[in-house]
Structure 1
Amino acid sequence: MFTIEHDFDATVVTLVDEGDAPLGEDVIVQAFEECVTVTQFDARLDRDVTITLSMAQLRDLRAALNLPEGVYRLRRVGE
């Protein structure tokens, strides 16, 4: 299950794990104009942990999810 909310400066997607136990903590993805953050509560540290992806990293991640194992570099059309 997931929710989508449009805030003033970001789109916020919350991913809720509804599978079999053990369930993972909710994942919150915030898309800003210049970056995307991914946040999840870490029970071992007793705090939220956040990573920030640049738009280029997000583009590469999106491409990587549909490719076989290997090393790649995306090129823009015309390069």
Structure 2
Amino acid sequence: MFTIEHEFDATVITLVDEGDDPRDYLQEDITIQSFEDCVVVEQMDETTETVVRVVFSHAQLRELAAALDLPEGVYRLQSRTKA
């Protein structure tokens, strides 16, 4: 399950781990905040009780999304130019 909220300066997406099986170990919620200049991913680390934060540029996030569907290798995304 996930939620999407539009705030003043960011779009906030929260991913909730519901698990496929009741015996699954569920992970903490993940919060993704998309700002004009970056995307912030946060998740509570239950062992240290601290929030772990990773900040991506929008270019890094595009590369991550592309990498999820590619085989092993080295890649460089090229921007499309309109003709």
Q: TM-score, normalised by structure 2?
A: 0.88
| Structure 1: gaps (5+ residues) | none
The offset of 1:76, in angstroms, is: 2.1
Identity %: 60
Distance 1:54 1:39 in 2: 15
Residues 32-79 of structure 1: CA distance to partner in whole angstroms, max 9, x if unpaired?
Answer: 01100000000121111110000110111111111111111112236x
Three-state SS of the structure 2 residue aligned to 1:5 is strand
Q: How many residues align?
A: 78
Q: Which residue of 2 aligns with 1:66?
A: 69
Counting strand residues as a fraction of each chain, which structure ranks higher? 1
Deviating runs (4+, > 6 A) in structure 1?
none
Q: Which residue of 1 aligns with 2:15?
A: 15
Three-state SS of the structure 1 residue aligned to 2:17 is coil
Q: Which residue of 1 aligns with 2:39?
A: 36
Q: TM-score, normalised by structure 1?
A: 0.92
Q: CA RMSD in A?
A: 1.1
Question: Which deviates further from its counterpart, 24-33 or 65-74?
Answer: 65-74
